[in-house]
Amino acid sequence: MNIVVLVKQVPGTDNVKMDPETGVMIRSGKDTIINPLDENALAEAIRIKNSHENVKVTAISMGPDSAIKALKEAIAMGADEGVLISGRAFAGSDTIATAKAIAAAIKKLDSVDLIVCGERATDGETGQTGAMIAHYLDIPVETYVSAIEVKETSAVLKRTVEGGFERIEVPYPVMATVNKDINEPGFPTLKGKLQAKQKTIPVYGPGELGLEPAELGLKGSPTRVVKVFSPKLSRDTIMKKANGTTEPVDELMQFLAGKDVI
């Protein structure tokens, strides 16, 4: 069984920066982490690997050269291989261009049964990429997955839905985007870190993926950020001091009544 886990390197939550001119996220910062929900996806793939025979886990990431760090960490956690999609041609890719590139990379691998990723990333919060990859691969996708049971020719997926859960059995290959309820991610082991250090991470560019420059980056991205700005909050504070009477309270009640709050 071959499992692919999509691992995205994202800025720490407090360090997200955008280029105000292009509307593109700045990803050159050193303070980066693996997207938290992708950690859940990785942990689930490794759990399946450790509980079944003949399971191979390949982690795929798209980003700058620094994203090799995330793939090395994935291998240290228990993944077998890592693949990086990188190059200037991919800069500024929206979810459509990103999905197209990742789908092309997955097609280069041996027969893939299960693809797992977080339902969304903390930097974009779109939740679109997983479903779009499934579209380009022409395979089914199940979202908000909170449990995975693998069988010989199919997977039984537990989905979180409004008001409860549902269980669906889907034949391979299938894409599953997981939520945080699926597990608690673990930590790399010393043995895993040593193995990761010795691993060579192949890097795929547009040529290796068989994609044209017009399909990638800003050129291949129909989504456009019109404006980037920080919201400004302004409040007019009215201070009332207690003076031993009910006057401050009466004025507050009149103010709330004027705003139709009470």
Q: Is the pLDDT of residue 24 over 60?
A: no
Class for the domain spanning 2-215: alpha beta
Name the band, by pLDDT with cuts 50, 70 and 90, for residue 171: very high
Average pLDDT over residues 47-70: 94
What does the domain layout of the chain look like in residue ranges?
2-215
Average confidence (pLDDT) over 75-100: 93
> Residue 221 carries which side chain, given as an amino acid letter?
S
When pLDDT is cut at 50, 70 and 90, the band that residue 131 belongs to is very high
